[in-house]
Amino acid sequence: MKAHDKKSQDSLTPQDALDYLKEGNNRFINNLRANRNLLQMVNDTSEGQWPFAIILSCIDSRTATELIFDQGLGDVFSVRVAGNVVNEDVLGSMEYAVKYAGSKLIVVLGHTKCGAVTSACNRVKDGNITALMHKIKPAIDKENTVKEERNGKNAEFVEKVANLNVFHAIEEIRERSDIISALEKEGRILIVGGIYDVETGIVDFFED
């Protein structure tokens, strides 16, 4: 499998880009990785890059997006921050990806058993971590089905908050970026969320 070039990137629809990730994750969970010559891909991308997607995910060491989606060099932009939260730098990176680098898809990817979400549920305050936890708090506030033990010891509560945190990030992207919102309304890009299961390797996309 070769690296994407401008022609192949231009030919993709946003749905094609999403399907590429789905197919890649299916290969990953079945241990059927695509045959790639990585050194050749280094050469192929030495003069430029044409990633078809940008993926915002957590820094968790188990969630390396190029691996879980079986992608190669130059295929995706990977933005990683604890709790897959949105800030100005993340938004700027996404705007660059879709407006100037030609990416067709934005993915916000949370994961099960997230340490950042668990810490936020436990109201951890420590150094710069405090500001990070504050960005996850809206998802905690939106979760209203769990009435008791609303903390990091309650696995059900943590997973529900992790899901809502993905949706909150997508809301933030749409509300805070006129560039991205306009491109989505024009049908030039898709924005989707998903959760990676650290036990199975499966990504469940939230397409609705």
Binding residues for Zn(2+): 58, 60, 111, 114
The closest of 55, 21, 89 to 166, measured between CA atoms, is: 55
Concatenate the DSSP letters of all residues of 153-207 into one string.
T-HHHHHHHHHHHHHHHHHHHHHH-HHHHHHHHTTS-EEEEEEE-TTT--EEEE-
Annotated binding site: 58, 60, 111, 114
Structure tokens at 140: 């905690």
Identity of the amino acid at 19? D
**Tokens found for residue 181:** 């919102």
Q: Residue 110: beta bridge partners? A: 195
